[in-house]
Structure 1
Amino acid sequence: MYNSKITGLGYYVPENVVTNDDLSKLMDTNDEWIQERTGIKERRWIEEGSEDTSAVMGAKAARIAIERAGLTTKDIDFIVFATLSPDYYFPGCGVQLQEMLDMRTVGALDIRNQCSGFVYGLSVADQFIKTGMYKNVLVVGSEFHSGGLDKTTRGRNVSVIFGDGAGAAVLSRTEDNTKGILSTHLHSEGKHAEELTVLAPSIRHWVPEILEANDETDESYFPYMNGTFVFKNAVVRFSEVIMEGLQKNNLQATDIDLFIPHQANLRISQFIQKKFKLNDDQVYNNIMNYGNTTAASIIIALSEAWEKGKIKDNDLVVLAAFGSGFTWGSVVMRW
């Protein structure tokens, strides 16, 4: 059986920086309030009139990752695209990416697992490679949140958290079973689906109803989050799925060289860091600069950490995510 390893990484974020002070001009909030609850100082939001969309940003990140892998777009055998904010209700962003990068008519799979999207995407790509079906798989996480947020005081608990951006990784075949992805672990608990959700538009609340209502006060069009409930579940599931990955590979927390959690809330990351007794050099966070970019958050952080030289050959790297669904998962890899 083959193994898979990351051979190329890349990320892209919009140039437009939105600080907490900027948000205070749109809603009743302030820098201290946001930082105390989330750790976020600023985020990137796509400016009106920009060409950027989830698919476009994904393509920009993918070009960087493919070049760094020493490959061309013709070498990619399959696309996995994770996002909760696709350009269209359908089709998904994967086929747009295939066209934008002038690829062969390779398969394109879209993943709708929100904050766990990139972890799920890596797991899917890993299985395709390990079975010998594909040699090089492009995994993308990209989000255009800002266009769908309630930027009023009513929506501040959610809208201050999210940012726009994209990241990409090329996963390639290797015959060295000591390197690359060692294991992935995926879970879900759908009974909590409406604790973090956008209820409309949907097939149950479709275009005629939207046009008839034309009601800008309808909160169901904007993301809803039961923040306290999500936080409590996140810290439990993060811990469980990290331990699951370590135990599967006969490892301990002390073996971790770098842990990259989904950038949902700095307080969650700090809680997990303390629980596993990891020092600051063993954990990489960048939520303070980008906010929560959902499916893009882990791959942006992983790319940035690699660029900064924080990941070395043979390092044990652990990724973990928790989000809407609820879904959660982890990846254990040897660099």
Structure 2
Amino acid sequence: MPHSTITGIGHYVPKNIVTNQDLTEVMETSDAWIRERTGIEERRYIDRTKETTTTLAVEASLKAIADAGIDKQDIDFIIFATLSPDYYFPGSGVLLQRELGISGTEIAALDIRAQCSGFIYGLSTADQFIKSGMYKKILLVGAEVHSVGLDFSTRGRNVSVIFGDGAGAVIIEPTEDKDVAVLSTKMHSDGTYAEKLSYMYPGAHGGYFLEKYAMEGFGVDYDLENNKYGGVFWNQDMLDKARVFPHMEGQAVFKMAVRKFPEVIMETLTDAGLGIEDLDMLIPHQANLRINQFVANTMGLRDDQVYNNIMRYGNTTAASIPLALSEARDEGKIKKGDLVTLASFGAGFTWAAAVLRWGK
């Protein structure tokens, strides 16, 4: 059975830099307030008339394809992880196929909605497809555009200051060399507290889950007598009451993340027959610098064993790990043969990790 390995990597971020100071123009906040709570100094936003989640993915993909030294027509499977697709449907995978100019190949395109854990879920999926022999050259992408869907007001600042736009991509191919391969992946989820980090409207729930789980203030009053059909997925009430923005209970997310991050990292290392002492580089999901620092301290890792770039890009959810991995490679922070662990935690809740020997 072959192993899987990353043979190419690339990332792309929009050119528009938005600093913490810039955000003070539209909400009551400050550079110090944002840095203290998140570690973020700036983030990137798209040009809203010229860029989309898919166009960011195209730029990152082309870099990964070139880095792998393959022809784009050789790609035989696309995996696209995002929580911010261009359309509600179809998914962004087929749009990426089209924009890359490889539609004629008629290869499959799979969209993954595991939020911040999407890239590692995709990596684990690609790993199994490579091991099975079904595919030989997989394009795995994580791309996000948050800037078009945030509440840029004081009301929404706890969420809006955190997120940014970006993309990262890798090419995954088979190898017989275990010294440059993916060694283990683990994925988990627990939907018990799904609404604590969520984007609930528009949606087909019709308020059912929100009423069932006592989400006070999030229900919708429907005039079903005069609106027998429709109006539950989307209506004016959602706009009037600002329910079309992300919802996050930060403390609940923080407490769960700092517990599950170390657990899944150690689970994955143990599965690979390794320990924390073998680790060269941890690349965690870039949700909050304080979470990453807490996890690093808990696990006894040095600063040079953990790569963070949230300061420059904010939280780019499914894009954050491939973006950070690509930058770490470009900066010489990881080299061939290094033991690298990727770890994520996000909405769902979902969490995952992967251990690999770096081969580029």
> When the two structures are superposed, what TM-score results if normalisation uses the length of structure 2?
0.91
Over 3 Å counting, the alpha-carbon distance change for 1:138 and 1:239 in structure 2 is same
CA distance in 2, matches of 1:321, 1:290: 16
Structure 1 stretches lacking a partner, 5+ long:
none
Residue of structure 2 in register with 1:178 after alignment: 179
SS in 1 for 2:322: helix
- Say if 2:332 is the partner of 1:316: no
Residue of structure 1 in register with 2:81 after alignment: 82
Match of 2:323 among 291, 300, 304: 300
SS in 2 for 1:216: helix
Residue of structure 2 in register with 1:202 after alignment: 203
Q: Pairwise mapping of residues 12-31 of structure 1 onto structure 2 (< 5 A)?
A: 12-31=12-31
Residue of structure 1 in register with 2:287 after alignment: 264
CA distance in 2, matches of 1:90, 1:73: 25
**Number of residue equivalences:** 334
Residue of structure 1 in register with 2:68 after alignment: 69
- Say if 2:352 is the partner of 1:329: yes
Residue of structure 2 in register with 1:117 after alignment: 118
Q: Pairwise mapping of residues 206-285 of structure 1 onto structure 2 (< 5 A)?
A: 208-209=231-232, 212-213=235-236, 216-285=239-308
CA distance in 1, matches of 2:149, 2:240: 14
- Deviations along 1:39-69, one digit per CA (max 9) or x if unpaired, are 00000011332x2101111011001000100
- Deviations along 1:118-175, one digit per CA (max 9) or x if unpaired, are 0101000010001111111000000010100000000000000000011100011111
For the 8 Å contact 2:180–2:336, the answer to whether it is kept is no
CA distance in 1, matches of 2:205, 2:288: 31
* Percentage of matched positions with identical amino acids: 57
Deviation at 1:212, TM superposition (A): 4.4
Question: What letter is aligned with 2:101?
Answer: D
SS in 1 for 2:283: strand
Structure 2 stretches lacking a partner, 5+ long:
207-228
> When the two structures are superposed, what TM-score results if normalisation uses the length of structure 1?
0.97
Following superposition, which runs of at least 4 residues in structure 1 exceed 2 angstroms of deviation? 204-212, 214-220
Residue of structure 1 in register with 2:9 after alignment: 9
Deviation at 1:227, TM superposition (A): 0.3
SS in 1 for 2:8: strand
- Deviations along 1:48-93, one digit per CA (max 9) or x if unpaired, are 32x2101111011001000100001111110000000000000000
Deviation at 1:246, TM superposition (A): 1.2
CA distance in 2, matches of 1:18, 1:297: 17
SS in 2 for 1:208: coil
- More divergent stretch after superposition (197-206 vs 265-274): 197-206
Deviation at 1:20, TM superposition (A): 0.2
Residue of structure 2 in register with 1:133 after alignment: 134
Max radius of gyration: which structure? Answer: 2
- More divergent stretch after superposition (173-182 vs 266-275): 173-182
RMSD, aligned α-carbons = 1.3
